[in-house]
Structure 1
Amino acid sequence: MDNATNALSSLGGITSVARVEGVLFDIDDTLVDLKSAAIKGFHLLTAEDFENVPMDERHRIARDYADDGAGAYERYMSGELTFLGQRVERIKRAYGLAGLDAPPAEALGGWCASYERAARSVWAPFPDVHRCLDELDAMGIPYGAVSNNVESYQREKLGAAGLERISILVGSDTAGAPKPDPRPFHVGCRLLGTSIGTTLYVGDNPINDVQGARDAGLIAILLNRAPDHKNDSGKCIENLASLPRLIAGNTRFLGAPGCE
């Protein structure tokens, strides 16, 4: 088995291809810095109510909100909660962590609308994204995005973040199921015009992104931007700057599990 085949085998159990022919990305906290936007929006909306909460505790609660410590988003993906409902659950948890009563039910809709405007105003790509996409363009490698949110909302997010260049987008609604179901990955490959076994998926979630993509037959690699993020998924990268180089020389995928 040659080095390129070994390289791809180490990523996704694929042993029949010689190179990556297309790339699919997750969006939230892979291309768009959603966590930073969520934290900024949360601080803005809670500034008055949390004025007596110590600042370090406010930061801790904001991070918990951004990380969905309530586990509400998965309940939304499973159909148990609406999109507004999952956000309400996160708000209630945040206020509870601060020892405060959450806004009354009749005010929560307005809170969520104001939060949405605040977060949208600071949606932005990570600094390494455009350079990575420029290099993929130069290499002639098509790319797109597969996300666990509705397509229309994520398309607005890409536009607000200045990533309109990503024209191929699959949402959980248009695919008929969220990741890690194989359908979103397969629809993405079809839209890219690449075979499943030669398409690389890049995302920040070890289960929904990496394991889901591998189970669907794609090559997959974890984007591990957080230095304290526990990685049990084998090979990973710490940013997107190194991705084109790894694709151009597949042998760089070889070696012990870990991040580059």
Structure 2
Amino acid sequence: MILNGVLFDLDGTLGDHDGSVEAALGAWLPSIGVPASAENRALWEKITERHLAAWRRREIGYAEQRRRRLTEFLPLVGVSCEADELDTIFSGYLAHYDTGYRAYGDAVAAVAAAVEAGLAVAVLTNGSAAQQRGKLARIGLSSIASVFTPDDLGVAKPDPDAFRIACSRWGIAPGSVLSVGDNHAFDVLAARAAGLRAVHLDRTGAGPASEAHRISTLRELATYL
């Protein structure tokens, strides 16, 4: 089947989420009186993933998962706060995260190459709609008109239905869409389960090495277009 569209993941693929988290924690933790130690950063990441997973399962709302992250994290690092302070405290972290969010050096060119190849381009991301669209604007990719999030779809990756519904709303058959992302389970295996083609962007060389369609930079994506 002819390739008609490229469906990019956002965080870890087009935008440097991990780098933004690292920079944000380095600035935010000391501002609330907490050392920005490797231990505290790892604790934040562990707690974050647990509550984001609950949000991806649609068990809680996006704002609630943020509050639950703080409710669990803050007492463990010796910070007390009232429930009505949680949103304000999180806004401090978020301001640093948003300010530090950057595109990978290969991202804008890769999107441009797909467009120049005559392909439709969209983003399927597990973040909230408003935040993810804001990120795309911040990194110079607001021209990507089709942005699919769990807020829009009612389901999140790695559920294959996220891909199926996104392709249906996009108006492109799954078999003619290439999914590109850094999370092998979320962006590759789930995409294939929904009938899409998929390429694993393995920036760090973490594997799996058994993946036949694996690239280390978006500059290598051209061979699939």
| TM bucket, shorter chain | 0.7 to 0.9
The counterpart of 2:156, out of the listed 178, 197, 210, is 178
Bigger Rg over Cα: 1
Partner residue of 1:78? 57
Alignment of 1:211-226 (within 5 A): 211-226=189-204
Structure 1 partner of 2:7:
24
Q: Distance in 2 between matches of 1:237 and 1:118?
A: 30
Per-residue displacement from partner, 1:54-102 (whole Å, max 9, x unpaired)?
x6xx135325534656522111111333323333444456556xx6323
Aligned-residue sequence identity (percent) comes to 24
Secondary structure of the 2:100 match is coil
- Which one of 90, 97, 100 corresponds to residue 77 of structure 2? 100
TM-score for the superposition, normalised by structure 2: 0.86
Structure 1 segments, 4+ long, off by >6 Å, are: none
Asked if 2 retains the 8 angstrom alpha-carbon contact of 1:206 and 1:232, the reply is no
Query: What is the alpha-carbon root mean square deviation over aligned residues?
Result: 2.4
Match of 2:224 among 216, 238, 247: 247
Corresponding residue for 1:254?
none
| 1:141-163 deviation line (CA, Å, top 9, x unaligned) | 11110111332331122112221
Quote how far apart the aligned CAs of 1:126 are: 0.7
Relative to the length of structure 1, the TM-score reads 0.75
1:33 to 13, 16, 23: 16
Q: How does 1:195-214 map to 2 (within 5 A)?
A: 195-214=173-192
Deviations 1:154-186 (A, max 9, x none): 112211222112111111121121122333323
Instruction: Give the gaps of 5 or more residues in structure 1.
Output: 1-16, 249-260
- The C-alpha deviation readout for 1:182-232, integer Å capped at 9, x for no partner, is 3332343345443211110011222222111111000012111123x3426
Number of aligned positions between the proteins? 222
User: For 1:47, what is the secondary structure of its paired residue?
Assistant: helix
Q: Look up the match of 2:26.
A: 43
**Structure 1, 38-47 or 81-90: larger mean CA deviation:** 81-90
